[in-house]
Amino acid sequence: MNFERTLIITGGAGFIGSHVVRLFVNKYPSYKIINLDKLTYAGNLANLRDVEDRPNYRFVRMDICDFEGVLELMREERVDGIIHLAAESHVDRSIKDPFTFAQTNVMGTLSLLQAAKCYWESLPEKYEGKRFYHISTDEVYGALEMDGTLFTEQTKYQPHSPYSASKAGSDHFVRAFHDTYGMPTVVTNCSNNYGPYQFPEKLIPLFINNIRHRKPLPVYGRGENVRDWLYVEDHARAIDTIFHRGQVAETYNIGGFNEWKNIDIVKLLIKVTDRLLGRPEGADLDLITYVTDRAGHDLRYAIDSRKLQKELGWEPSLQFEEGIEKTVRWYLDNQAWLDNVTSGDYQKYYEQMYSNR
């Protein structure tokens, strides 16, 4: 079958990546979508059961640090676009193991960039019709005071954790490949995502699951830290828009104009989850447990996404309360998925399956 375009989406078995893969597979049947994922703890092919048999979808288990493997795949499939989401992303893990974050986020991105450069520069048309789209985070900008200021595309980088430092490094490499080699790149920095299929070490799915089981809800400090939240399907739509219409070498911030203190999110989760479970309102407020704050915990993140809205016409589709309602319902309705992930059984299955190949 001849396809109009062939794209690699890295990290496509993860939280955000699976939503992007699903959107592209369904919306663009004339595109071949290659989901390239190492299947670390955060990757789960169960996230994509509904598209795994589509004729325009292919899964490849591969480490993005495997330069030779990526280059061979690009040549084999004649890849003309990369949407790069694969990353280690949990701040607490980065504090305990910064080497893994540097390896995956910096060296993995460099491996992809160099493979794309080698393949695309070997073609008669070189970079014409090609695109390398790198998804990053608002955490590279550092922290904001409680003064209403927002991160813009011109905000100076000031990463404070090993995670954000590794993402900042990868951002710089992407821009350097444009400036040095002329590679058509684009970078986006997004706020916190939430929604279905998120690995339950992150705040919202973790707390939904803990409320369900009446387990403690550990809140750092006094819960005063502020984050800007975006429903994951809105992020996927933004990625679609920017991949197709964003300007080469530009940076776009993606956010929801939706700031919440952590403690207020926890209370909202308790309210919604208790109601959906048929419990009295506030029944699980006593599960809130304040714990010692995380090292280098940034006070506030908030994204100014007006450039994206003005230039490309994208805007969030959901109010936060509506998105939380949908999210809580999804996790409660998909308890088998949640139990499988929290047990780690899916990892044992993949290791057995791929060790036999």
Q: Is 301 helix (H, G, I), strand (E, B) or coil?
A: coil
For the record, the structure tokens of 5 come out as: 């375009």
Q: Are strands 217-220 and 251-254 parallel, antiparallel or unpaired?
A: unpaired
- Is 301 labeled as catalytic in the residue annotation? no
Catalytic, out of 163, 194, 197, 231: 163
CB atoms within 10 A of CB 308: 23
Q: Where does the chain show beta strands of DSSP type E?
A: 5-10, 31-37, 57-61, 81-84, 131-137, 185-190, 192-194, 217-220, 226-231, 251-254, 259-261, 288-291
Residues linked to residue 133 through DSSP beta bridges, in sequence order: 83, 186
With CA atoms as reference, report the closest residue to 242 among 131, 90, 85, 319: 131
138 is catalytic: yes
- Closest to 36 measured CA to CA, from 5, 55, 64: 64
Catalytic residue, chosen from 37, 63, 139, 233, is 139
Q: Tokens 């109601």 label which residue?
A: 275
Return the residue matching tokens 């047990």.
343
Of 120, 164, 121, 103, whose CA–CA distance to 8 is shortest? 120
Residue 93: Cβ within 10 Å count: 17
How far is it, in rounded angstroms, from Cα 270 to Cα 235?
25
Backbone angles phi, psi at 86, to 5 degrees: -60, 125
* 313, burial (CB in 10 Å: exposed 0-12, middle 13-18, buried 19+): exposed
List the strands of the sheet with 226-231, edge to edge: 192-194, 226-231, 259-261
Calpha distance 253→238 (Å, rounded): 10
Among 37, 138, 274, 298, which one carries the catalytic annotation?
138
Active site residue 284: no
How far apart, in Å, are the Cα atoms of 43 and each of 82, 150, 190, 200, 350? 18, 32, 20, 12, 10
What residues are annotated to the active site?
138-139, 163
